[in-house]
Amino acid sequence: MRQTTFALALLTAAVLSACGGSSSEPGVQNVKVKFSSQVAFGDSLSDVGTYNVGTVAALKGGKFNINGDNTAVNATLTGKNYTELLATQLGLPAACAAYTGLDGNATQGFSVPVVQHAGCYIYAQGGARVTNPVGIGNKLTGSALGALTVPVVKQVANHLSLSGGKFTGTELVIVMAGANDVFVNLSQLSTAATAAGTAAGTAAGSAAFGTSLVSQLAAGATNPQTAAVAIGTALQTESARPGHTDATVVAAAVTAAVIAGNTPAASVAVYGPMVATAQAAGTSAGATAGAKAGADYFAANAPALVTTMAGVANELAALVKDQIVAKGANYVVINNMPDIATTPFGRGQAASTVALIDNMVKTFNSTLATAVASESKILYVDTYAVSHDQATNPAPYGLTNVTTPACNLNTTVNPLASSLGCNGGNLATGDVSHYSFADEVHPTPFVQLLLARYVSKYMVTKGWL
């Protein structure tokens, strides 16, 4: 039996009965440790509504989930994420966003002043990275949304500044981050590889076009060998001239051919088919060279991303140990990074990209696990294992679809084209209550419930519940 399936069996026996059986929402239970509050740092997976303002709120969105209470349709469609469910389970006040606001396009309703909410301790923000402030959706990426993407290092600093520079030692602290560092670095590599492929393809295509056209035009000249040199020189000279066009380049080559004795080439009926043949040769050569150059660039630079993610993991581990545990926190849950390769986003990538994603995630997780292994006040939760098992063995979890988003991401019905703007009114057709994913990467309320239960199982084993 798979380890994670066994874990859920343990969870059913040890936790669910105390949390209201198989209910879609865990109930209050008696706990061994009486937590005073829940504090969460991270990204969209833990965000409870940082961007639930302005146009986002008007669209009935706000969280990276299926938003809103849709339990009238199905009991699992609570609209809540695991931090909210854990708060209920632990008898704590409802989880709420420490800060709300947007820093985007005002004309689109995405410029809303940032507000700090007293008594709210969920600092996690969609798009946030571990230390870099420019995350997914940040205005510096060109996004109209203007997501705040306050990095985890600053989230922790903000909490410390509001709590006298320390933790009380009685709060449950949850940390879950790193995925956006994968997405940003992967996007940057993809962009660079595409640029390298485009440059190589353009150069190879131009060379093949010129070679083909020169050869064809020279064949009808008095002396093909010397004509080829003259025509090639004319073509290259015009190609290097600022302001040249494809038409002027062809004209220069044709003129040189006529001078070299190929007078019929002056007619478009003669040189036109030659140009078409040359264009076909250029397109083919360009595509081949471009694809190879792009793939070569990707392969050559992919290992650096794996190294980068190891560095990100060490940064997160140091942050947790030096700024959370060392500042008084006694109960710290670190959820490692889920399996991104098996999300709808991951499944849509080329095999080489999928392999890189998985390597980045696994390296981050293993580095993080090693770095915090000796800390008795840290509970490391392996969400990768359970998310991978859910994706490859969905039936025992009650999952009906692990490949297709539950939300309709067409901008005609979901202007944000993500789970941030997803609600009961723009779901995919059919019963999506037990789908794994709300959009390309974010889980549904049902999977958030499974995550809350999974974290609870680890807390039981640790002796905290």
Residues pairing with 100 in the sheet = 115
Is the model's pLDDT at 28 over the cut of 80? no
* pLDDT tens-digit readout, 62-109: 999 999 999 999 999 999 999 999 999 999 999 999 999 999 999 999
Angle between helices 445-462 and 383-392 (to 10 degrees): 140
pLDDT of residue 218: 98
pLDDT of residue 16: 40
Estimate the crossing angle of helix 268-320 against helix 246-259, to 10 degrees. 140
What is the C-alpha separation between 261 and 258, in angstroms, rounded? Answer: 5
* pLDDT tens column, 178-237: 999 999 999 999 999 999 999 999 999 999 999 999 999 999 999 999 999 999 999 999
Which element (helix H / strand E) includes 176? strand 172-176
How many C-beta atoms surround the C-beta of residue 333 within 10 A? 21
Percent of the chain scoring above 70 in pLDDT: 93
Are the C-beta atoms of 129 and 122 separated by less than 8 Å?
Answer: no
- pLDDT tens digits for range 137-174: 999 999 999 999 999 999 999 999 999 999 999 999 99
pLDDT at position 17: 35
Query: Between helices 268-320 and 351-372, what is the axis angle to 10°?
Result: 10
Quick check: 24 pLDDT over 90? no
CA distance 33 to 411: 46
Which residues sit opposite 102 in a β-bridge? Answer: 112
Of the pLDDT bands very low, low, confident and very high (cuts 50, 70, 90), residue 33 is: confident
* Strand locations in 84-130 (E): 99-103, 111-116
CA distances from 9 to 1, 105, 394, 434, 465 (A): 11, 48, 14, 19, 17
Asked if pLDDT for residue 8 goes beyond 60, the answer is no
Quick one: which of 25, 66, 20, 127 has its CA closest to 452? 25
Encoding tokens for residue 235? 């073509």
Q: How confident is the model at residue 426, as a pLDDT?
A: 98
Measuring CA to CA, which residue among 171, 178, 183, 168 is closest to residue 40? 171
How confident is the prediction for the chain on average, in pLDDT?
A: 94
60 sits in which H/E element: none
pLDDT in the model for residue 423: 98
**CA atoms of 388 and 369, how far apart (whole Å):** 17
pLDDT of 248 higher than 90: yes
Considering only 18-27, 37-46, 334-343, 389-398, which range has the smallest mean pLDDT? 18-27
pLDDT score of 257 more than 70:
yes
What is the reported pLDDT for 31? 63
- Return d(Cα 317, Cα 81) in angstroms, integer: 24
Pairwise CA distance, residues 42 & 178, whole Å: 8
* pTM (global) more than 0.85: yes
**pLDDT one-digit tens code per residue, 351-370:** 999 999 999 999 999 999 99
Q: Report d(CA 151, CA 315) in Å as an integer.
A: 12
In our burial notation (b when 16+ CB lie closer than 10 A, e otherwise), range 216-251 reads bbbebbeebeebbebbbebbeebbeeeeeeeeebbe
Please answer whether residues 456 and 437 qualify as being in contact, where contact means their C-beta atoms are separated by less than 8 angstroms: no
Question: How many C-beta atoms lie closer than 10 Å to residue 413's C-beta?
Answer: 14
| 3-state secondary structure (DSSP) of residue 103 | strand
CA distances in angstroms from 156 to 301, 397, 444, listed in the order given: 32, 34, 27
Whether pLDDT at 27 is above 60: no
Q: How far apart are CA 371 and CA 122, in angstroms?
A: 24
